[in-house]
Amino acid sequence: MTALAVIGSTAEVLELFADPLRLLTADERFRAAAFRFDGDRDDFVAAHLLVRMGVAEVTGLALDRLTLVQRCRSCRGPHGTPMIAETPEWSVSLSHTRSHVAASASIVAAGVDVERLDRRYPRGVEEVALTPAEAGFVRAAPDAGRALLEIWVRKEAVIKALSADLGLLPDIELVRSGRIVDVWEGLHLTTFPDDGRVIAACAAPTAPVWRHLSTLGDAHVR
């Protein structure tokens, strides 16, 4: 397996751990404590645990041997592109939305994103994030909000796979001949089967295996 993408609810992740914060680094705990709302804090913690679980699944390493590191390339703060210090050969990505989390582990650069299907974006987001073809696709769709999210999660996944910033969004063209493409510039864009609550996408040079949290082995959970 060269790429694994995992999804689950925040509650499902947290209930696997007697002390969810124990495996987090001091930087992660500091960032978690800064959240104003408990739900946002739980989503953050669950995503940071789930990415460890994904790496444990593909490497066989125990969770307590995995250190998640994030360093901003600009300010050197404890945020930015994540990596597991003990397995630098594996590219990792994580995402969280209200009550759901996703993560990926890939032997090559990959990115993952998850959003709730009931999310509504601010007016005008199409003008700054979509190409004309994508905006036309969204306007013509029976469910414009759903169409926008289907494009958005793929674009976010691409941005993370490229370690780029959101300014690249309008340069990523994901609609051709009236449909959303499955491959962009060598990146395979795959989504987790629709469960009616969230939509998630992973972008990777090789199509990842999508798994639900419940199908992962539990030997490394403690």
C-alpha distance from residue 170 to each of 8, 19, 138, 151, 166 (Å): 30, 42, 14, 11, 9
> Is residue 92 in a domain?
yes
| CATH number for 206 | 3.90.470.20
What is the per-residue pLDDT across 146-204, written as a single tens digit (0 to 9) for each?
A: 999 999 999 999 999 998 888 888 899 999 999 999 999 999 999 997 778 899 999 99
Number of domains the chain is built from: 1
Tell me the helices (H) and strands (E) count for the chain, helix number first. Answer: 6, 12
Give dist(CA 60, CA 62) in Å, integer.
7
What is the per-residue pLDDT across 97-134, written as a single tens digit (0 to 9) for each?
A: 999 999 999 998 999 999 999 887 767 787 888 999 99
> Is residue 91 in a domain?
yes
> Is residue 86 in a domain?
yes
Structural domain boundaries enclosing 100? 3-215
> Is residue 220 in a domain?
no
> Is residue 222 in a domain?
no
Q: Is 174 helix (H, G, I), strand (E, B) or coil?
A: coil
Nearest by Cα to 99 from 14, 202, 20, 194: 14
Q: What is the pTM of this model?
A: 0.92
